[in-house]
Amino acid sequence: MQTKIKSIYAALAAVSLSFFGVGFHKAWVYACTPMFRGEVLGPFPLRTWFELCCAIAAIAFALFALQTKHDQMRNALLPIAVWCQILSAGLLAISVICSELSLLLCTLACFIGACGVISMSLLWVDVYAFLNPLRVALFYSGGILLACLINFAVQENPPLRLAILGMILPFFTVWCLKRSQLCITSEGETTGALPQKLQLLPWKALLFIAAYAFAYGVSAKVAPIAPSAIVFITMLPALIVFFSVLCSAKRFNFELIYRWAFPLMVLGFLAVAAIPNIDKGVSAALVGISYISSEMLVVLIVCGLCYRTGANAFWLFGIIKGCQYLAKFMGLILMNFIVSHEAASQVSLIAAIIVVALIVLASVIFATERSLFSKWGAKSFTIQEDNRSAEETEPLVARISDRVEGLAEVYDLTQRETEVLMLLARGKTVRGIGSDMFIAEGTVKAHIQHIYQKLGVHNRSELLKFLGVSS
């Protein structure tokens, strides 16, 4: 037990804690967005309009990213993210003081805050896109845990103090973001970004997330989550992922969590929650766990695609997240319509049928793409005419990934050996691979020897030649 605790401490000590800074951003969301719940605009509460605004902002930023250079996009998003979050929190603070203007101020805060939340999320995913998916899982789940701790510490505070906290948190977020970007630069990480005219559209990921989000929108209307329980519901899936990564050992593979725990938490819990006559508290808890798990899964899907292919993180995350918010909003609209036209006794049954049908669809899609490095049906497309060949436009990192996956299938490499080979092909050292995968250097060396034996090579130089990579 002591050895395991020491290994966990060593794994945490080996990474830059600034990568957990996404937790300050999540804490802003958890502290400020509940303040929209008390206001209603038209047929929906402001919290629902907030998510529609997030959908519009995400899709708009994704389309803008296609026409903008990566560095320019990053530089443009940073001030938008910071000032929108500060201004939104400031408007919420004023709305508490001037209660007669509460609806107007909260509405403005809702629209502005949505732009800030999406901008900051895009910036963090852009950082994580340079990292091994295993590290992404650790940092993002750890960030959620940090946000939960902050939220737990301040949840009893009056709304005015929460709004003031919302004006302070963006500064901590930006400091961590800048530190993380510097760490990536110093480590020489790269995704080998796709040429500006060539991008990816992962249709399976879009369909999977849209089907799930629509089902969630239907379920959320039937089983709303109590605010007092949100912290504990949020922490559970994050804890599972966080300690699963830290406890990775020679015989434990995070792929097991990705293949089995995520589908259970994302799809299984939502299906159980849809059963008619189930206790509302249990149903709400399962729906909440499912949604937080799906949030982590979206980040892993996007970052895995970017890491494997060098795709544009701003485009991928923006379009997938936009579709998720939009599908959820449509699910809420459908349930509003059903509730207003059907008897109360029929609503739960209709919701259950819709949810189960969509979960079956999402499960079939997930069953075909069950690896951290899955392509999710990604198809490349060009924005303008381009006469270059596919080999010229495809980045080196994507060609290496294809080559590694092909060799893994032919030479029967295990999933862990495939990941090690992928990192070797990217020029990682033994220490770097151990740090990325949170395993001991001796374990890495053992995997490398097995790879050499299976491929019939004797050293790294021969391996790189075999892969067609310049040393």
Higher pLDDT, 365 or 103: 103
Q: What is the pLDDT of residue 231?
A: 76
CA proximity to 283, closest of 348, 350, 207: 348
Cα 433 to chain centroid, rounded? 23
Q: What is the pLDDT of residue 359?
A: 79
Q: What is the pLDDT of residue 272?
A: 66
CATH topology of domain 395-465: Arc Repressor Mutant, subunit A (1.10.10)
Structure tokens at 405: 């996956």
Confidence at 114, pLDDT banded by 50, 70, 90: very high
Place of tokens 């990292």: 131
Structural contact between residues 212 and 362, judged by C-beta atoms closer than 8 angstroms:
yes
The architecture in CATH of the region 18-382 reads Up-down Bundle (1.20)
Separation of alpha carbons 41 and 31, rounded Å:
21
Higher pLDDT, 334 or 369: 334
Q: What is the pLDDT of residue 201?
A: 79
pLDDT in tens, 169-195: 999 999 999 998 888 776 555 554 444
Structure tokens at 444: 């890495």
Structure tokens at 31: 């502290």
Burial class of residue 1 (count of CB atoms within 10 Å of its CB; 0-12, 13-18, 19+): exposed
Mean pLDDT of 59-70: 90
Cβ neighbours of 42 (radius 10 Å): 8
Highest mean pLDDT among 108-122, 153-167, 217-231, 300-314: 108-122
Amino acid at position 233, single letter: I
pLDDT in tens, 7-50: 544 555 455 678 888 999 999 998 888 877 667 777 778 888 88
Q: Is the pLDDT of residue 257 over 80?
A: no
DSSP code at position 35: G
> pTM of the entire structure?
0.82
Residue limits of CATH 1.10.10.10 in the chain: 395-465
Q: What is the pLDDT of residue 140?
A: 92
Structural contact between residues 177 and 125, judged by C-beta atoms closer than 8 angstroms:
no
Higher pLDDT, 25 or 428: 25
Confidence at 270, pLDDT banded by 50, 70, 90: low
Q: Is the pLDDT of residue 386 over 50?
A: no
Place of tokens 């969301």: 29
Residue limits of CATH 1.20.1250.20 in the chain: 18-382
Amino acid at position 325, single letter: Y
Confidence at 256, pLDDT banded by 50, 70, 90: low
Separation of alpha carbons 46 and 354, rounded Å:
25
Q: What is the pLDDT of residue 28?
A: 93
The rounded percent of the chain whose pLDDT value lies above 90 is: 22
Region of 277 (left: φ > 0; alpha: ψ -120 to 50; beta: rest) is left
